Amino acid sequence: MPLRSLLATSASIALIAGGSVHAQAGDPGERLSPVFVYGDRTSDQPGSVAMVDAETIATVDADHPAQILNELPGVNIQMNSGQEHLIALRSPVLTGGAGQGSFLILQNGLPTRSPAFGNVNSLFEIHHEVADAIEIVRGPGSAKYGSNAVHGLINVILAEPQPATYADARLSGSTINRYKADITGNLDSRARLSLSLQDDAGWRDNTGVEQQKLSAQYAFDLGGWEGLAFISGSSLNQETGGFIEGYKAYRDDDTATSNPNPEAYRDAQWAMGAVRLSRTLGVGELTLTPFYRWQEMEFAQHFLPNGGIEENGHDAFGLQSEYEFSASDDVILRLGADADLASGWLKETQLEPFGFFPGDTRFPVGVHYDYTVDTTVLALWGEAEWAVSDTITVLAGLRGETHDYDYTTDVAPGPNGRFLVPDDRKDSFDLLTPKLGAIWTPGNGTISYYANYSRGERAPQASDLYRLQSQQGIAEADVETMDSFEVGARGEALNGAILFDVAAYYAEKENFFFRDSDGLNVTDGSTRHTGVEGRANWLVNEAFTISGTASYAEHTYTFDRVVAAGSEIIRDGNEVDTAPNWLADLRLTWHPTDAFEASLSAEYIGEYYTDPGNTQTYPGHTVTQARASYEFTETLEGFVIVRNLFDLNYADRADFAFGGNRYFPGEPLNATFGVRKRFN
């Protein structure tokens, strides 16, 4: 069986991740075609990958990307205030440099940030509202992508121009004064333009959000090259709600709606443009993608007791290249070379005096850091797909990278209270990430089994290296490395009525850089990650579908940390904080006619520790929601979405830091009403 002949079955299996009956409608090959150009893994390769298709994205109508991504196995994205969030992909929920650098966020296959300048809130930059597909890889990425794809990647894929002229509009408003508009105009087979607007008054005090996103694609032919130019940009202005404090404070309605930090805010702008050029060259196809990206952000550090204002930004240009060819009837080779040249800066200023006790001089008023870092990242990579037989395919890959940093400071080097400013310096890191996997599809091809080994590495974030604390030494951060092993099966049963995907994994990570609950940096941690994940979609009959996901994981520290007074004690075998063992999502969908659909779903987050010392816990929660839609005509549809159906008091994020429990409360019961309209 030729390697690509598995796609007809595997593409539909990948789509069950959407958790909706819509995932089986239409032509999945047509919807998934951009994934082969932009994606990290196709579903006929070893490793865990999930897809959400365009119809599911429109049906969910997510106010926040977590509302759609959390329906997938092994994914736990915590919503904080407004569009802020923290990510977990087959991992604990990570913060700081680990949260910035452990997940690779892409749009159309391009990283939205340069490797050294990540953002824990990186999902608010991507245009998920109008995406054609969202690809989620759990575990280290393939050889195609390098630094930051340690625990996985999220790739938002925008639709290319279609051979028709039309406009799609989706308008909605909610009972908590959140209003949205998503408009896409497909001008012809050459041009496509999408605009998303959100105006959210905020259900907590002083927490309004205004956000705008714009994307455009233009297809062209130039001197034998097939070209696609695309640009995307976003702007966010929000009043930010801080943590509410006190044991189980989220259970009190008045406390939950309060904002202890009314002065907090976040203003962020981001833009990226690229041109993808492809042509046949010799025996294969060459693809070149030059790109440019830019971002700036300013926010109040409400999550730190001393407060302060952070300003940061970076701009970059670079090139992705890939050459794919058939070395024989059974072997496909891909070779690539990438470059990313960036210049980033960060400034942190404390405006008000602060101390935990009289005479505490660790948090001086004034500028703590003001630095610039120029980075150069160069990479070479290769992959080979070998169809060993009609039923067995092997995928092997290797990627090598070098990261060079040139750091200069505009404030005096040396200790400044709790803060340590390094002198001007240069640093360099080398990464080497091998991959090896196999997939076996016996018999009639309805079930595939796979095994996969992959290494993920990330160079330190600029903040890991140069935003130091007085207890640290210079240049202690090193390359973080994770070796991951997984086995899995995906396919169909009951003559295609059930689609399923299950996986088990084991991973070990070294040089884990994180902050403990006292806000102190740990530079040389190590962790172990084991778990089982599954998802299934059962078409009970033509009108009724049951779909769901479940994940059980254990994320543990594998080192001891017993140091000076004032820092947290961590023991080998402690569970990593903010890492629930159980995650699950269940959805019942009823589709009695072509015009009407209704669904009821429940999302479960299990109990987890909120501190590395394992002294405090959050009990977990189950939140339910309902959706219904009705097609009045072929071009007009109305819908309603009710979130937190039973008005549960819960915490989107529970945290223990600086000696106290603190929470971001979850939204109360609310309903969204909207319409979708196509103009031909």
8 A C-beta contact, residue 15 and residue 34:
no
Residues 481, 432: Cα–Cα separation, whole Å: 10
Is the predicted pLDDT of residue 224 greater than 50, yes or no? yes
Residues 91, 94: Cα–Cα separation, whole Å: 8
pLDDT in tens, 480-501: 999 999 999 999 999 889 999 9
Q: Which domain holds residue 158?
A: 3-679
Please report the pLDDT score of residue 565 as a whole number. Answer: 55
Instruction: Give me the phi and psi of 666, to 5 degrees please.
Output: -80, 155
Please report the pLDDT score of residue 37 as a whole number. Answer: 63
Q: What percent of the chain has pLDDT over 90?
A: 82
Please report the pLDDT score of residue 22 as a whole number. Answer: 34
Nearest Cα neighbor of 658 from 384, 225, 390, 305 is: 305
Please report the pLDDT score of residue 29 as a whole number. Answer: 36
When comparing pLDDT for 370 and 565, which is higher?
A: 370
Give the pLDDT band (50/70/90) at residue 433: very high
Please report, for the domain that includes residue 139, its CATH number.
2.40.170.20
When comparing pLDDT for 561 and 104, which is higher?
A: 104
The three-state secondary structure class of 208 is coil
Residues 152, 91: Cα–Cα separation, whole Å: 9
Residues 385, 486: Cα–Cα separation, whole Å: 18
Residues 466, 410: Cα–Cα separation, whole Å: 12
The three-state secondary structure class of 138 is strand
pLDDT in tens, 23-81: 333 333 333 344 556 777 666 778 898 989 999 999 999 999 999 999 999 999 999 99
pLDDT in tens, 234-276: 999 999 999 999 999 999 999 999 999 999 999 999 999 999 9
Residues 131, 68: Cα–Cα separation, whole Å: 12
How many domains is the chain partitioned into structurally? 1
Residues 577, 86: Cα–Cα separation, whole Å: 13
Which tokens is 567 given? 């820092």
The three-state secondary structure class of 236 is strand
- Which residues, 6 or more positions from 532, have their beta carbon under 8 angstroms from its beta carbon? 502, 503, 504, 505, 551, 552, 553
Span 549-572, average pLDDT: 85
Residues 362, 381: Cα–Cα separation, whole Å: 46
Which tokens is 648 given? 């549960």
Q: What angle in degrees, to the nearest 10, is found between the helix axes of 28-38 and 7-14?
A: 90
Span 367-392, average pLDDT: 97
Which tokens is 273 given? 């443009």
Please report the pLDDT score of residue 516 as a whole number. Answer: 79
Q: What is the 3-state secondary structure (H, E, C) of 470-491?
A: CCCCCCCCCCEEEEEEEEEEEE
Please report the pLDDT score of residue 45 as a whole number. Answer: 79
48-53 β-sheet, strand order: 48-53, 131-138, 152-158, 103-107, 110-111
- 385 half-sphere exposure, CB direction, 13 A CA radius: 17
Please report the pLDDT score of residue 547 as a whole number. Answer: 96
Q: What is the DSSP string of 426-439?
A: EEEEEEEEEEEEEE
Instruction: Give me the phi and psi of 13, to 5 degrees please.
Output: -65, -40
Residues 86, 137: Cα–Cα separation, whole Å: 17
8 A C-beta contact, residue 150 and residue 431:
no
- Residue 162 is classified by DSSP as -
pLDDT in tens, 608-628: 999 988 999 999 999 999 999
